[in-house]
Chain A
Amino acid sequence: MASVLLIEDDKETADEIRAELGDRGYVVDWAANGIEGLDKARSGGAEVVIVDRLLPGMDGLTIIEALRKEGMRTPVLVLSALGAVDDRVRGLRAGGDDYLTKPFATVELIARIEALLRRPTESRDTLLRVGPLELDLMERTAKRGDRVIDLLPREFRLLEYMMRRKDQVLTRTMLLEEVWKYKFVPQTNLVDVHMGRLRHKVDEPNEQPMIHNVRGVGFILRAPA
């Protein structure tokens, strides 16, 4: 199972994250300060590094910059109590791959780690396939088996994003940030409405559902069993 390096100075938070990740089969290594964290990250055992933004000894961003300078490409998830958009931009610019504001739901964290571990298929193939579902990126058409699915451009974008990340839980925030480039939390259940539309078109009543709602987390696209 994947190994994760957690660099977090608050022991209670660290314990929670370790327990949660441990339950899901991850091997978690923990460093309580920046210097120790950087050493452990350099040794290169971890497949994903979770870095707290503010750390004693060495700032989280400094660690990422140091790693990137040394050519380490391990995906890094930045955790921060600073919610400001500016800070997020700084975190990603320093070389972080994703950014999560504290407090966060554990499921959100897991989903993000999963996403980082399974980089989407950026194949040059112009045809995406998940089970009977086909998406032609050139023709901008979608088919489920022989049935042509008539999609609006926004629905097409959403489906493409999900097909590239099949079998992976996608949280609402991830979808907002990635599909709509929406950088704030809207007050309305935007994602649910859009997903409802898409699901309605992808899964007809007599078909086995492919888009699933993961309660309290988000959505997942799976090939029918």
Chain B
Amino acid sequence: MRRPDFARTPTFYSVLAVACALALCTLVLFGLVYKQTTAYVISKYDVLLVEELRIFASNSPDQLLQEINDRLLKDPQHIKIAGLFGADGSRIAGNLDLLPPGLTPDVPTNAVVIRLDGGERNAQNVRVAARALPSGRSLVIGRQIDEITEIAKVVMRALSLGLLPAFILTVFIAMFLSKRIFVRVTELNQKIQHVVTSDLRERLPTSGRGDTFDQIAVSVNQMLGDIESLVREIAAVGDNIAHDLRTPLTRVRVRLERGRARAASLDELRTVVDQAIGGLDQSLAIVTALLRIAEIEHSRRLEGFSQVPLGPLVREIWDLYEPIAEDKGVALRVNSADETTVHGDRDLLFEAVANLVDNAIKFTPEGGNVDLTLLSREIGTVVQVRDTGPGITEIERESVTKRFYRSDKSRRTEGLGLGLSLVAAIVKLHGFQFVITAGPGCTVEIICPQMH
């Protein structure tokens, strides 16, 4: 069964719980008042009863009978009780049928008795005190305590007059508050649903009161803003991928088409096919590089990390790239005096630094230098690659590490434009920093903060 709207918010139950707690407290309070009042009343009675008992007992036996009869006659409302019983328990005078059992001399107690006067021979709650007389008889003095029941009734009436309406009122307030919150939550929810399903550009409305709901709306709006820009970014990346894949694929298509129409010999056709395969390989390399970046960016496996000595690593990279630099007329120099280790994945770090060196060699014109240096700074170990190439402008710096970006200058040089994105992903995975500094040429640094 579906619960009603008002019963579907935590507010309703909170208010209800508070109301219950209040009711419980009130009950305890009233109970205490009742207990204290009756105890006070009874103690007053007791003082009187003991006093009366003392006075009655001081009379001679004849006077006593007279006094008992007087006491009962002067009490038309049948409040008072008096009784004189023989040593064998038989009634001698008074309005009591039997000597109440279990009485302690001079100590007032509650008893249930049957009265002889007052018409009704019903059992009645009374307070009595008794004393054994020197003659062996027992004297009982007492009074009925219906007032106590009256007090209880008054207390109950006060309780029902005060507590019940208050409780009912609270329930209504709970329902009202709950309903109001429910309406706003539902409204927010519908808006969010709408944004999610149809239009990411829409935002949640705020009431302007600056309340919690407005705060939530503001937070959600911020989140939506972030999501929207991410989606845009992804779309842009998608466009870039499409562009970078389309270019080689279009070339392949054109070549194949022309080859099919124009190739006069098998050899000519083979040349065309070879070129087409080259183009396809280029496209596949782009896909591979993209997958690789995604793999690194989403990698949460850090258990493969170990202490990697950076000195041998940079020297090995130098060893690998030195002939390539030499072929291009670029001097690749390595300076790895600093023998430190960092916590990381050796293969990935190798790939990152190799990429930086690869890039530097690629962008440095003949006669230039590329320096691969291992530095020790206060913040930690730094792998620095500095070249004398065209450099990177301020604006380009940020975009350079984004997927597929290639600054216009570099578009002339071959490459997939993914190298630096890959480096950025690897560096981020390690918790290192990647800094590109413009200047004469370009300086890129991987800063590996010391582990504590």
Judge whether B347 and A188 touch: CB under 8 Å.
no
Judge whether B292 and A83 touch: CB under 8 Å.
yes
B186 in the interface, Cβ–Cβ < 8 Å?
no
A26 in the interface, Cβ–Cβ < 8 Å?
no
Interface string of A160-204 (1 = CB under 8 A from B): 000000000000000000001011111110100110110000000
Judge whether B351 and A184 touch: CB under 8 Å.
yes
A1 in the interface, Cβ–Cβ < 8 Å?
no
Judge whether A190 and B301 touch: CB under 8 Å.
no
Judge whether B362 and A84 touch: CB under 8 Å.
no
Judge whether A86 and B274 touch: CB under 8 Å.
no
Residues in A whose Cβ lies below 8 Å from that of B67: none
B415 in the interface, Cβ–Cβ < 8 Å?
yes
Question: Contact size class for B?
Answer: 20 to 34
Judge whether B284 and A103 touch: CB under 8 Å.
yes
Residues in A whose Cβ lies below 8 Å from that of B274: 216
Considering the complex, give the chain A residue whose CB is closest to the CB of B289: A185
Judge whether A184 and B292 touch: CB under 8 Å.
yes
Main secondary structure of the interface of B (DSSP, over half): helix
The 8 Å CB contact of B288, one of A154, A180, A185, A194, is A185
Judge whether B295 and A187 touch: CB under 8 Å.
no
B9 to chain A, nearest CB (A): 47
Judge whether A154 and B319 touch: CB under 8 Å.
yes
Judge whether B415 and A197 touch: CB under 8 Å.
no
Residues in A whose Cβ lies below 8 Å from that of B355: 187
Judge whether A187 and B419 touch: CB under 8 Å.
yes
- Given A103-B284, A187-B415, A85 contacting B323 (CB threshold 8 A): no
Residues in A whose Cβ lies below 8 Å from that of B281: 105
Judge whether B324 and A193 touch: CB under 8 Å.
yes
B315 to chain A, nearest CB (A): 11
CA distance A185 to B282 in the complex (A): 12
Within 8 A of A (CB), among B256-308: 274, 277, 281, 284-285, 288, 291-292, 295, 301
Judge whether A85 and B295 touch: CB under 8 Å.
yes
Residues in B whose Cβ lies below 8 Å from that of A101: 288
The 8 Å CB contact of A194, one of B323, B358, B361, B419, is B323
CA distance A181 to B295 in the complex (A): 20
Within 8 A of B (CB), among A132-163: 153-154
B15 in the interface, Cβ–Cβ < 8 Å?
no
Judge whether A190 and B415 touch: CB under 8 Å.
no
B320 in the interface, Cβ–Cβ < 8 Å?
yes
CA distance A197 to B319 in the complex (A): 13
CA distance A70 to B285 in the complex (A): 38
CA distance A180 to B321 in the complex (A): 12
B439 to chain A, nearest CB (A): 24
Judge whether B292 and A190 touch: CB under 8 Å.
no
A148 to chain B, nearest CB (A): 21
Judge whether A197 and B323 touch: CB under 8 Å.
yes
B451 to chain A, nearest CB (A): 24
A83 to chain B, nearest CB (A): 5
The 8 Å CB contact of A187, one of B320, B327, B416, is B416
Within 8 A of B (CB), among A93-145: 101, 103, 105
A119 to chain B, nearest CB (A): 25
Considering the complex, give the chain A residue whose CB is closest to the CB of B292: A184
- Given A85-B347, A103-B284, A216-B274, A186 contacting B358 (CB threshold 8 A): yes
Residues in B whose Cβ lies below 8 Å from that of A194: 323
Residues in A whose Cβ lies below 8 Å from that of B323: 193-194, 196-197
B354 in the interface, Cβ–Cβ < 8 Å?
yes
B428 to chain A, nearest CB (A): 17
Interface string of B35-77 (1 = CB under 8 A from A): 0000000000000000000000000000000000000000000
- Given A103-B284, A187-B419, A193-B327, A84 contacting B291 (CB threshold 8 A): yes
Judge whether B415 and A180 touch: CB under 8 Å.
no
Judge whether A86 and B301 touch: CB under 8 Å.
yes
CA distance A196 to B414 in the complex (A): 21
- Given A185-B288, A188-B358, A194-B323, A84 contacting B295 (CB threshold 8 A): yes
Judge whether B354 and A186 touch: CB under 8 Å.
yes
- Given A186-B354, A187-B419, A180 contacting B320 (CB threshold 8 A): yes
CA distance A58 to B392 in the complex (A): 52
Judge whether B301 and A187 touch: CB under 8 Å.
no
Judge whether A183 and B347 touch: CB under 8 Å.
yes
Residues in B whose Cβ lies below 8 Å from that of A187: 355, 358, 362, 414-416, 419
B437 to chain A, nearest CB (A): 23
B334 to chain A, nearest CB (A): 14
CA distance A190 to B415 in the complex (A): 14
Residues in B whose Cβ lies below 8 Å from that of A197: 323
A202 to chain B, nearest CB (A): 15
Interface hub of B281, B288, B301, B416 (most chain A Cβ within 10 A): B288
Residues in B whose Cβ lies below 8 Å from that of A196: 323
Judge whether A190 and B324 touch: CB under 8 Å.
yes
- Given A84-B295, A85-B295, A193-B327, A185 contacting B285 (CB threshold 8 A): yes
Residues in A whose Cβ lies below 8 Å from that of B361: 188
Other 15 A-B pairs with CB < 8 A, given A85-B295, A184-B351, A188-B358? A84-B291, A85-B347, A86-B295, A105-B281, A154-B319, A154-B320, A184-B292, A185-B285, A186-B358, A187-B419, A190-B321, A194-B323, A196-B323, A197-B323, A216-B277
Chain A to chain B contacts (Cβ below 8 Å), 29 pairs: A83-B291, A83-B292, A85-B295, A86-B301, A105-B281, A153-B319, A154-B319, A154-B320, A180-B320, A182-B320, A182-B350, A183-B351, A184-B292, A184-B351, A185-B288, A186-B354, A186-B358, A187-B355, A187-B358, A187-B362, A187-B416, A187-B419, A188-B361, A190-B321, A194-B323, A196-B323, A197-B323, A216-B274, A216-B277
